[in-house]
Amino acid sequence: MLVNFSAVYAEGSRDLYPATATGNRAFLYCNTTTRSSESWPFKTPGTHYVYVKSGEIIAAGSSAQGYGQGVIRFTTPTGDVYTSNVGGSTGRIRNRTDELNGPKIGSGSGYTPFEMSVPASMEGVWKVEFIAPGGAGNNGLIAPSILATANWSQPDLTDENINLIAAWDVSVRASTATEWLKGRVFANVLNLHLNGTFLKSRAYFATHYILTKDGRAYRVQTNGSNGVGFTFFSNSNGFAVNSVPIYKSLNESSYEGILAYTHNPTGPDDGANVTHKIFYNKPHPGLPVKAPTAAFLGQDTWLKNPAELPKITNLTIVGVEGTVGLAGMNGAYIKFKSSAVGTYRITIPVSTPAGPADRVIIGVATQGNNVVFWDGKDGKGAFLKDGTFISKLKTKLLSAEVHFPYIDMEVNPLGLIIELTDNTTNYDVLNLSTDESVYSDRTYWDDSDITGAGSYAESSNPVYTGVNGASSRTEGHKWGSYNNTGGSGNSGTGLNSFGNAKSLDTWAYIQGSEEDTPVDLVIKVADLKIESVVPDLSTLILNKQITYTVRVKNSGPSAVSGAPFAFKAPPGFEVTDGSFSIASGEGAVNNILRLAGDFSAVLDLKNNAVVEFKIIVKSATSSLTYPLSVEASILRPADITDPDATHPILNPDPDVINAPSDPHLECKNGTLQEVCNNIKYNNVIVQELCPGTPIVPIDFAGVSGGAVEIIGALPSGLDPAFSSGNNVLKITGTPTASGTFTLGTVGSERERTTYLIKVNQPPVLQPLNNVSVCEDKNAVFTVTATESDNTYKWQFNDNKGAGWQDFAADATGVSGSNTTSITLSNVPFTSNGKQLRVIVTSALGCSSVSSVATLTVNKLPESAVVLPWDAQFCIGGTVTLTANGDAVSFQWFKNGVAIAGEINQTYTASTEGDYHVVLKNDKGCESSASNIVSVNVYPDQPKPVITSEGDLTFCSGGVVKLKSSSATGNQWIKNNRPIAGENKPELTVSTPGTYRLVVTNPCSKLSDEIIITVNPIPATPSVEVTEGNLTFCTGDQVILESNKALGNQWYKNGELIVSAVLQKYTAKESGTYTVVVTE
């Protein structure tokens, strides 16, 4: 068995305690009770992990197998669970010889393992759990004192250490192989128990290999530590806050105490919180990058990643408020790109009069883009001074960072030896190399927070290794001594040594080279202030306009660019104009904007520069509500510190630009009160009074108990009275003149109130004029005042003993009794001699009484009678109208309109209309209208036209009918004499003569003449045969002749023979022939 020992490989306790081991055996503590323990805060049932491939054999053994509840449990990456038999011997490591020989193959030597063949579906990382005889719920805590190489016995149910396992093993081989593979088994945490014999020969000496997620491995030698019950694990950040290492040991070891600072190694990795893997041997070179794991079903775990030296690039500094290369007291973001996950170390070089005060920022970088917040302070916690210019940052990125938080390790007199192996899968320790990326034994620690650090005899020394670390081989992180237990707490020896109930962290990493990265970073501080806000009230009363003078100053020391200035007018006012001037120093005003009641600009101000604004505001409202309050503010630009107006950003977010936007928030400066000089207020209060009227008392208290100051002179007649040590002022009195003054607080210009006391004179009135009117006419009295917006109250005295009385608002026949003019309508003669006056009151209530005016009422003349009563004529005619009565003038009217110039007693009317006359007496009073005489003018009659039905010339015995063009008013005339009774539209005439027609409607018109001719009837003609006979043969003819030479018309059988009109007619046909003669 011993001949083949070097070829027998098993992984577990035999690797901790080989044949050449020294010191005592530490037992595997397997317990999962929830009872708190200062020694084992992260309890497990002896959990290990092993990477296996399809077809390989996984074998395991435990000295506890078969005792009590002692079993071995496999969990596959698919979640399948396989457990050895309770009480069975398969899988039991019986003794030290079995432990050293490992699991047997076939009939070979070694223990009989609990083993399984790995199917293809279950390839990956299996979980192996070793259940102790006491199961998971027993708390026996006594470990026997057994040398590492000595024979041991497994505690069973009769012992007080039934949670302990003396020997354990997990081995892997190919199904056809005869050798076991090394470097496949690892644990995330080892809970171990050692006998409390604090001698070097009884200490814990073991070797582990720690594989980091960065792909590098460390060889770790425990080198004689003794924690009795203690926890051993390794992670990427030790004790941390928000995953960022604090690089310090922790002054406690309980689960509750350290969980806030430590990622639980039994849980899955979480971002920057990585638990490294503890191997018993060098990790196997065939480990994949990742594999499915039984630790967390459905997830992969990393195994062997390619190792790379990390590097920081693309480094820039941006103020928290968004400005590149500029930072104030709210700090800045340092942005960079990291080639790998690792701990960064950024140094901001700072020089102070007291010496260097470099700020070192350490954190965990992710691969890719990173953003780190810097609070603007140096390494001593002070804000960088104004004008500080930083031209470079020193950067270093750490990789393969390993921490070994030794929990409840009472003594470690020789110190852990931690050595970086080479960057190959040989994991050789090349301790002759000077390249720390190849080999390094440099370790770091800081125990300054541990009770008694540097003062207890068994404290680590040095307590802190600083930034350079120390060789773990030659110096090391050491504490305690090999002495029996004494003292108490962690101030004694043995169980009460320096590491008792503490968590002492030792760490190492591969340091990338520190590089100087150029940057341009300027620290600026500028005390911006509103020096004063002064109102000019000279046009307020008249035009509702105020001109404000606002002075803005940069008290430095830094120059600023882009500082927003804002002015807010009183409610109801609009900014109508704004101008500026550079009062002192150098400055510029940009982006002036007026919008309703707001005025804004952006200022560039060198140190001690002053800008003066003239801002005019005006109100369009009819009345003002006091006080009229304005606010002026100046806001710091982004990433510039204003000493009294920089509100801290409590939770800076690189994805959110927090540029200052609200001067009120900045003015709180990290407090609940606005106390800065960046905002000033001015209030305007006006009291307008009549002469002899006292003011409304003014009460004014100083800000924060400060003394009140009066700026400017009080108007005469006002009395100031101070109280409470000049902190309170009361002003009373009756002013005799107008004046302006301002009240404020001594030493504080933040808010001031300006008072305008205006003594108004009563209205100045012109004397009233007496009014003389005619009876029943309107009387108008008017007053003229020098002011507007007055109120008026007219009064009368009717001399009946009642004195002056107000006109009632609803009095009949009175209008305008509260205006500048009052009208008395239709005044009767009984009002003759009435007196009037008016009381005029200004808008502020100051009154004046007018002079007295007298009303004279004159009688009216009697109205006239106009004759004739009725008048009418045809067009072209006239009528004379005559009025009676005695008057100065007679005004004639036609259709209600006065006829210009017609003022005589008579009037000749030539046109149609309604005529009347009005008389006027010597007082100018007019009578009522006379009777109306209607004059009718008839229109011109059209000339009548006579038409006839028949010829105007006819034979005796005939008639002709004459017709008039008018249906009425006809009179027929014959030979210039009216025909009696003939007044119809028609006239039948049978006698000759000259006929005419007269039409009257009512005017007459004569028609043209119509001549009627009546001829006598001629004698009967005779016919003679002048040639031929009356009876003749066909073809012959007879000639007939009339005794009349003219007017003949021949007929045959009573029918007219056409064209037969001569004296003779030749008849050729039979018939009866006649002739008719017409003369």
Predicted confidence (pLDDT) per residue in 882-899, tens digit: 999 888 899 999 999 999
- Please count the structural domains in the chain: 7
Predicted confidence (pLDDT) per residue in 317-353, tens digit: 998 988 898 888 888 999 999 887 777 889 999 988 8
CATH of the domain at 993: 2.60.40.10
Q: Are residues 882 and 844 in the same domain?
A: no
User: How confident is the model over 173-187, as a mean pLDDT?
Assistant: 93
Assess whether pLDDT exceeds 80 at residue 202.
yes
For the chain, what percent of residues have pLDDT higher than 90? 68
Last residue of one domain, picked from the residues 858, 891, 917: 858
What's the pLDDT at 471?
96
Contact present, 250 and 261 (Cβ < 8 Å): yes
**Size of the chain, expressed as the number of residues it contains:** 1079
Predicted confidence (pLDDT) per residue in 624-657, tens digit: 999 999 999 999 999 999 999 999 888 888 888 8
User: How confident is the model over 775-794, as a mean pLDDT?
Assistant: 91
Assess whether pLDDT exceeds 90 at residue 753.
yes
Q: Are residues 928 and 955 in the same domain?
A: no
What's the pLDDT at 626?
95
User: How confident is the model over 936-955, as a mean pLDDT?
Assistant: 89
Looking at the domain assignment, is residue 388 inside a domain? no
Looking at the domain assignment, is residue 319 inside a domain? no
User: How confident is the model over 143-172, as a mean pLDDT?
Assistant: 90
What's the pLDDT at 138?
60
Task: Using pLDDT thresholds of 50, 70 and 90, give the confidence band for residue 172.
Answer: very high
Q: Are residues 72 and 176 in the same domain?
A: yes
Query: Distances from the Cα of 862 to the Cαs of 884, 887, 920, 927, in angstroms?
Result: 10, 9, 9, 6
52 vs 400, higher pLDDT: 52
Predicted confidence (pLDDT) per residue in 69-106, tens digit: 999 999 999 999 999 999 999 999 999 999 999 999 98
**Cα 852 from Cα 765, distance rounded (Å):** 12
Using alpha carbons, select from 117, 222, 216 the residue that is nearest to residue 436. 216
Assess whether pLDDT exceeds 60 at residue 836.
yes
Amino acid identity, position 435: D
For the chain, what percent of residues have pLDDT higher than 70? 98
What's the pLDDT at 36?
62
Looking at the domain assignment, is residue 725 inside a domain? yes
Q: Is 699 helix (H, G, I), strand (E, B) or coil?
A: strand
| Structural domain boundaries enclosing 29 | 1-143+158-188
Contacts of 371 (CB under 8 A, 6+ apart): 333, 334, 335, 654
**Cα 201 from Cα 149, distance rounded (Å):** 12
Using alpha carbons, select from 273, 247, 252 the residue that is nearest to residue 262. 273
Assess whether pLDDT exceeds 70 at residue 228.
yes
Amino acid identity, position 721: A
Assess whether pLDDT exceeds 60 at residue 496.
yes
Burial classification of residue 809, based on how many CB atoms lie within 10 Å of its CB (0-12 exposed, 13-18 middle, 19 or more buried): exposed
Q: Are residues 845 and 820 in the same domain?
A: yes
Q: Are residues 39 and 183 in the same domain?
A: yes
Task: Using pLDDT thresholds of 50, 70 and 90, give the confidence band for residue 960.
Answer: very high
Contacts of 218 (CB under 8 A, 6+ apart): 209, 210, 212, 400, 402, 418, 419, 420, 421, 508
Predicted confidence (pLDDT) per residue in 801-811, tens digit: 899 999 988 88
Amino acid identity, position 606: K
User: How confident is the model over 748-757, as a mean pLDDT?
Assistant: 92
Write out the two tokens for 99. Answer: 């432990």
Task: Using pLDDT thresholds of 50, 70 and 90, give the confidence band for residue 298.
Answer: very high
What's the pLDDT at 468?
84
What dihedral do alpha carbons 1061, 1067, 1068, 1072 form, nearest 10°? 110
Predicted confidence (pLDDT) per residue in 362-374, tens digit: 887 888 999 999 9
Q: Are residues 719 and 817 in the same domain?
A: no
Assess whether pLDDT exceeds 90 at residue 198.
yes
What's the pLDDT at 975?
95
Contact present, 853 and 835 (Cβ < 8 Å): yes
Assess whether pLDDT exceeds 90 at residue 973.
yes
Looking at the domain assignment, is residue 740 inside a domain? yes
Last residue of one domain, picked from the residues 842, 858, 874: 858
Predicted confidence (pLDDT) per residue in 33-69, tens digit: 877 678 899 999 999 999 999 999 999 999 999 999 9
Last residue of one domain, picked from the residues 987, 1015, 1043: 1015
Beta strand 953-955 with 1010-1015 is parallel
**Cα 428 from Cα 218, distance rounded (Å):** 10
Taking phi first (over 0 means left), then psi (-120 to 50 degrees means alpha), and beta for anything else, what does residue 481 get? beta
**Cα 756 from Cα 767, distance rounded (Å):** 33
630 vs 4, higher pLDDT: 630
Task: Using pLDDT thresholds of 50, 70 and 90, give the confidence band for residue 118.
Answer: very high
Amino acid identity, position 916: H
Q: Are residues 578 and 646 in the same domain?
A: yes
Q: Are residues 922 and 968 in the same domain?
A: no
Looking at the domain assignment, is residue 353 inside a domain? no
Q: Are residues 167 and 23 in the same domain?
A: yes
What's the pLDDT at 466?
76
Assess whether pLDDT exceeds 60 at residue 1010.
yes
User: How confident is the model over 132-155, as a mean pLDDT?
Assistant: 84
What's the pLDDT at 385?
86
Predicted confidence (pLDDT) per residue in 434-454, tens digit: 988 899 999 999 999 999 999
- What's the mean per-residue pLDDT of the chain? 91
Write out the two tokens for 704. Answer: 């924060």
Task: Using pLDDT thresholds of 50, 70 and 90, give the confidence band for residue 2.
Answer: very low
pTM: 0.55
Task: Using pLDDT thresholds of 50, 70 and 90, give the confidence band for residue 743.
Answer: very high
**Cα 831 from Cα 842, distance rounded (Å):** 31
Looking at the domain assignment, is residue 541 inside a domain? yes
Task: Using pLDDT thresholds of 50, 70 and 90, give the confidence band for residue 295.
Answer: very high
Q: Specify the DSSP class assigned to residue 663.
A: H
What's the pLDDT at 9?
58
Assess whether pLDDT exceeds 50 at residue 4.
no
What's the pLDDT at 168?
98
Assess whether pLDDT exceeds 90 at residue 491.
yes
Write out the two tokens for 253. Answer: 């070891």
Q: Are residues 580 and 645 in the same domain?
A: yes
Contact present, 983 and 971 (Cβ < 8 Å): yes
Looking at the domain assignment, is residue 572 inside a domain? yes
**Cα 757 from Cα 736, distance rounded (Å):** 10
Beta-bridge mates of residue 505? 405
Q: Are residues 573 and 651 in the same domain?
A: yes
Predicted confidence (pLDDT) per residue in 1051-1078, tens digit: 999 899 989 889 898 989 999 989 888 8
Residue-wise DSSP of 426-484: T----TT---TTT---EEB-B-TTSTTTTTSTTS-SSSB-TTT-EETTTT-S-B--S--
What dihedral do alpha carbons 159, 163, 166, 168 form, nearest 10°? 150
Assess whether pLDDT exceeds 50 at residue 8.
no
Query: Distances from the Cα of 444 to the Cαs of 70, 411, 881, in angstroms?
Result: 40, 18, 140
User: How confident is the model over 412-433, as a mean pLDDT?
Assistant: 95
Q: Are residues 993 and 1042 in the same domain?
A: no
Looking at the domain assignment, is residue 732 inside a domain? yes
